[in-house]
Amino acid sequence: MAQAQSRYRLSGAERAMLQGTWPLGLLDDRAREPRIVESAEEFLREVLVGEHLEDFDFVVLPKGTELLALSWEDCLPDDIRAALRDCNSATDFARQLRARPEVVERYRADIEYVDRKRQQRDILRKDKLELGKRIDEAIRMAAAGEADADLLYIAEMRLRVEAPHPLGGEGVKTVCRRDVKDVLGPYASWTLYWDRYDEGFFAGGARSGKGLHVDQVLWSNVGKNWSGHKLIAAWPPGEVSKQVALELYDVLLSPPLSERELQVLGMAAKVVLIRPGDVYLFSGGVAHAVLCVSDEICLGAYESLVTLHPKHVAHFLRTSDSEGPFCLDKYSMDEKEFRDTKDDCIDQLEDAAAQLAQGGPASAPVPLAGPCASAAPALWRGLLAALHSDDGLQRTLRDHYASCVALCAADAYFRQNLPQRVLHAAAACGWRGAAAAAPKRRRLLLGGGGAAQATSDSTSSEDDAPSSCVPRTGGCTI
């Protein structure tokens, strides 16, 4: 581990590159360093059962795009790669896209600029599907001096129309042809939530980036950085994140920084240099900010997930808090959309329950049903074999499943909608509260007047976790 950490030290060339960006003292502070893992297996274990929230961890797998067989050539479609050839900035990329009408037709993306208050804003936000129109307006604004061309940032680039994923086969809008989700195979179901449907692709040149924000859902991100160096700062969860986010929401921390911006950066728990090829894991449910620092354009994508770790599940469930240190009002996902997200979580818990009934993830088939499924690399089979034979991982996944269902059962919406199959699976994994939760759902499933009563009973139980919501095994400390 000490050797891995020393590999994180900045080189002379990196120090020179970082001059005039964020204070180097923040990057030299050992407490703010990321945690480096050296192997793909170790990283996948971190994704599945590790903790990266309370200790403000930021987990980096150097050369991860190579070690996980997620290279630029394998992941991105030919048309995007061709448009990005020789580009150094989002403005270059936008111009290249505009010269290819058939490509512009295929995608949507936000184009962000920085206003006079240093706040990042979407260009033509209401025309979100009109990429060509947005590019034209960005180029006009840059020419008129209304936007700094160097600070333009292309964010959340996706397909305009859903299409089958080449490996997984499910309908998606992500531009990525391979993801960490594909590497994990059946283990991706052993998370509470995994979103690659809407995975966004990002592109930006030196001094551009993403303004300070907290993601609209308190989930985690796994990022792939194919090109360029960027700085990421992340603040402690809860009160500190809320305070800095409300003060500097969407402010791009591009130099020169104001006194106050420097003070806020000094409050960050982690300040990390992300290098080409890094794959990394961190919580998007804390305040975070990105600054691209290399002459080479930064190109990356993020999948969003909620692991089964009880701390991550508890944090996720605070997304819709209406008060307190996790409440971010208009910056959080609205209630209806969040219920849809919870429905996706229930599907995910059912998938894991179905696997459990057949012997667990080690016995499950690899879920590759897309048109290019046969192109999945042999490397992934080896990684899965390592996970299959890890008894500690298998045990912890089951413990976390029980803890996760216990925590979800204390939430009104989940409590009304968790299927029997999930409750039984949680009981098989050691949850003693399953018996207490099951009758309500059973009445619900039987329908009739009893169902209505059960629903209203359940609704009133919000934030009133049964004391039996404690797994018999596992480390739920919430």
- Considering the complex, state which of residue 90 and residue 418 has its C-beta at the smaller distance from Fe ion: 90
- At closest approach, how far in Å is the CB of 188 from Fe ion? 21
- At closest approach, how far in Å is the CB of 211 from Fe ion? 10
- At closest approach, how far in Å is the CB of 232 from Fe ion? 10
Cα 477 from chain centre: 24
Amino acid at 346: I
What are the residue ranges of helices labelled H in 321-390? 335-357, 378-388
Overall size of the chain counted in residues: 478
- At closest approach, how far in Å is the CB of 291 from Fe ion? 13
- Considering the complex, state which of residue 197 and residue 419 has its C-beta at the smaller distance from Fe ion: 197
Tokens of 13: 């060339």
Cα gap 317→315, rounded to integer Å:
5
- Considering the complex, state which of residue 175 and residue 349 has its C-beta at the smaller distance from Fe ion: 175
CA distances from 389 to 144, 283, 365, 384 (A): 61, 28, 15, 9
- Considering the complex, state which of residue 284 and residue 367 has its C-beta at the smaller distance from Fe ion: 284
- Considering the complex, state which of residue 120 and residue 348 has its C-beta at the smaller distance from Fe ion: 120
Amino acid at 342: K
Residue 209 makes CB contacts below 8 A (sequence gap 6+) with 153, 230, 231, 252, 253, 254, 289, 290, 291, 292, 298
Cα gap 283→219, rounded to integer Å:
6
Residue 90 makes CB contacts below 8 A (sequence gap 6+) with 111, 152, 153, 154, 203, 204, 205, 208, 297
CB 348 within 8 A of CB 192: yes
Question: Residue 316, exposed/middle/buried by CB under 10 A (0-12, 13-18, 19+)?
Answer: buried
Residue 467 phi, psi dihedral angles, 5° rounding: -65, -20
CB 298 within 8 A of CB 230: yes
Cα gap 268→263, rounded to integer Å:
9
Q: Which stretch binds Fe ion (CB under 5 A): 113-121, 160-168, 284-292, 322-330?
A: 284-292
Size of the site for Fe ion (CB under 5 A): 2
- Considering the complex, state which of residue 89 and residue 221 has its C-beta at the smaller distance from Fe ion: 221
Q: Which stretch binds Fe ion (CB under 5 A): 7-15, 144-152, 211-219, 323-331?
A: 211-219
Q: Which stretch binds Fe ion (CB under 5 A): 172-180, 227-235, 277-285, 441-449?
A: 277-285
Binding-site member from 215, 278, 303, 351 for Fe ion (CB under 5 A): 215
CA distances from 89 to 93, 102, 307, 336 (A): 6, 21, 34, 37
- Considering the complex, state which of residue 97 and residue 175 has its C-beta at the smaller distance from Fe ion: 175
- At closest approach, how far in Å is the CB of 290 from Fe ion? 8
- At closest approach, how far in Å is the CB of 214 from Fe ion? 8
- At closest approach, how far in Å is the CB of 180 from Fe ion? 17
Site for Fe ion in 68-97 (CB under 5 A): none
- Considering the complex, state which of residue 276 and residue 284 has its C-beta at the smaller distance from Fe ion: 284
- At closest approach, how far in Å is the CB of 213 from Fe ion? 6
- Considering the complex, state which of residue 53 and residue 469 has its C-beta at the smaller distance from Fe ion: 53
Q: Which stretch binds Fe ion (CB under 5 A): 140-148, 196-204, 279-287, 348-356?
A: 279-287
Which secondary-structure segment (H or E) carries 273? Answer: strand 270-274
- Considering the complex, state which of residue 221 and residue 417 has its C-beta at the smaller distance from Fe ion: 221
Cα gap 315→184, rounded to integer Å:
23
CB 320 within 8 A of CB 338: yes
Binding-site member from 205, 209, 284, 433 for Fe ion (CB under 5 A): 284
Q: What angle do CA 130, 131, 134 make, to 5 degrees?
A: 90
- At closest approach, how far in Å is the CB of 95 from Fe ion? 26
- At closest approach, how far in Å is the CB of 356 from Fe ion? 32
- At closest approach, how far in Å is the CB of 254 from Fe ion? 17
- Considering the complex, state which of residue 92 and residue 215 has its C-beta at the smaller distance from Fe ion: 215
Tokens of 88: 């150094």
Residue 94 makes CB contacts below 8 A (sequence gap 6+) with 111, 135, 138, 139, 152, 154
Looking up tokens 């409050």, which residue turns up? 267
Which secondary-structure segment (H or E) carries 82? Answer: helix 78-84
209 is an interface residue for Fe ion by CB under 5 A: no
- At closest approach, how far in Å is the CB of 215 from Fe ion? 5
Q: Which stretch binds Fe ion (CB under 5 A): 130-138, 283-291, 334-342, 466-474?
A: 283-291
Tokens of 146: 């209304």
- Considering the complex, state which of residue 179 and residue 215 has its C-beta at the smaller distance from Fe ion: 215
Tokens of 470: 């404690």
Which letter does DSSP use for residue 207 in this model?
Answer: T
Q: Which stretch binds Fe ion (CB under 5 A): 118-126, 214-222, 315-323, 396-404?
A: 214-222
Q: Which stretch binds Fe ion (CB under 5 A): 200-208, 213-221, 350-358, 446-454?
A: 213-221
- At closest approach, how far in Å is the CB of 288 from Fe ion? 6
User: Which residues here bind Fe ion, judged by CB under 5 A?
Assistant: 215, 284
